[in-house]
Protein backbone atom coordinates (compact mmCIF):
# COMPACT_ATOMS: atom_id res chain seq x y z
CA UNK A 1 0.00 0.00 0.00
CA UNK A 2 2.77 2.45 0.92
CA UNK A 3 4.68 1.84 -2.30
CA UNK A 4 1.64 2.53 -4.45
CA UNK A 5 0.61 5.79 -2.79
CA UNK A 6 3.99 7.37 -2.00
CA UNK A 7 5.94 8.97 -4.86
CA UNK A 8 8.77 6.79 -6.18
CA UNK A 9 11.40 9.41 -5.27
CA UNK A 10 10.43 9.04 -1.60
CA UNK A 11 10.90 5.25 -1.55
CA UNK A 12 14.66 5.40 -0.92
CA UNK A 13 14.29 8.18 1.67
CA UNK A 14 11.56 6.56 3.79
CA UNK A 15 12.92 4.46 6.64
CA UNK A 16 10.65 1.76 7.97
CA UNK A 17 9.33 1.24 10.48
CA UNK A 18 8.21 4.79 11.14
CA UNK A 19 9.03 5.46 14.78
CA UNK A 20 6.95 7.46 17.23
CA UNK A 21 8.70 8.13 20.53
CA UNK A 22 6.86 8.19 23.85
CA UNK A 23 8.15 10.39 26.64
CA UNK A 24 7.13 10.20 30.28
CA UNK A 25 7.19 14.02 30.31
CA UNK A 26 4.48 14.34 27.63
CA UNK A 27 1.44 12.17 28.25
CA UNK A 28 -0.84 13.25 25.40
CA UNK A 29 1.35 12.86 22.30
CA UNK A 30 4.19 11.03 20.61
CA UNK A 31 7.18 12.51 18.80
CA UNK A 32 8.32 11.65 15.28
CA UNK A 33 11.78 12.83 14.25
CA UNK A 34 11.64 11.71 10.61
CA UNK A 35 10.44 14.44 8.27
CA UNK A 36 10.12 12.02 5.35
CA UNK A 37 7.86 9.82 7.47
CA UNK A 38 5.68 12.81 8.30
CA UNK A 39 5.43 13.68 4.59
CA UNK A 40 4.50 10.07 3.79
CA UNK A 41 1.82 10.00 6.49
CA UNK A 42 0.39 13.24 5.08
CA UNK A 43 0.25 11.72 1.58
CA UNK A 44 -1.53 8.67 2.99
CA UNK A 45 -4.02 10.97 4.73
CA UNK A 46 -3.08 9.64 8.16
CA UNK A 47 -2.13 13.06 9.52
CA UNK A 48 -3.21 16.55 8.58
CA UNK A 49 -1.26 18.92 6.36
CA UNK A 50 -1.66 21.38 9.23
CA UNK A 51 0.56 19.25 11.51
CA UNK A 52 3.79 21.25 11.84
CA UNK A 53 7.38 20.06 11.90
CA UNK A 54 9.62 22.15 14.14
CA UNK A 55 13.39 21.59 14.13
CA UNK A 56 12.90 18.22 12.47
CA UNK A 57 10.37 17.02 15.06
CA UNK A 58 6.62 16.60 14.94
CA UNK A 59 4.25 15.89 17.82
CA UNK A 60 1.21 13.78 17.06
CA UNK A 61 -1.56 13.05 19.54
CA UNK A 62 -1.76 9.54 20.99
CA UNK A 63 -5.19 8.71 19.53
CA UNK A 64 -4.00 9.62 16.04
CA UNK A 65 -0.82 7.53 16.39
CA UNK A 66 -2.79 4.55 17.72
CA UNK A 67 -5.15 4.87 14.72
CA UNK A 68 -2.15 4.92 12.36
CA UNK A 69 -0.72 1.81 14.04
CA UNK A 70 -4.05 0.02 13.55
CA UNK A 71 -4.20 1.08 9.89
CA UNK A 72 -0.59 0.30 8.90
CA UNK A 73 0.73 -1.92 11.74
CA UNK A 74 3.73 -3.28 9.87
CA UNK A 75 5.03 0.19 9.01
CA UNK A 76 4.75 2.02 12.36
CA UNK A 77 6.15 1.37 15.84
CA UNK A 78 5.85 3.16 19.15
CA UNK A 79 9.12 3.40 21.07
CA UNK A 80 8.67 3.67 24.82
CA UNK A 81 10.94 5.55 27.22
CA UNK A 82 12.57 7.89 24.72
CATH code: domain of residue 19: 3.40.1170
Could you list the residue range(s) of the whole structural domain that residue 51 is in? 2-79
pLDDT at site 4: 84
Q: Say if residue 53 is preceded by a cis peptide, omega within 30 of 0.
A: no
Residue 55: helix, strand or coil by DSSP? coil
pLDDT at site 82: 53
pLDDT at site 2: 72
Residue 10: helix, strand or coil by DSSP? helix
Quick one: which H or E segment has residue 63? Answer: helix 62-71
Instruction: For the chain of 82 residues, list the mean pLDDT of each consecutive stretch of 10.
Output: 84 94 92 95 92 91 96 92 61
Residue-wise DSSP of 30-45? EEE--HHHHHHHHHTT
Number of domains in the chain: 1
Amino acid sequence: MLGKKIPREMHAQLRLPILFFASPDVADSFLCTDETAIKALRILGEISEMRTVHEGKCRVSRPIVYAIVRHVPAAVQIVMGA
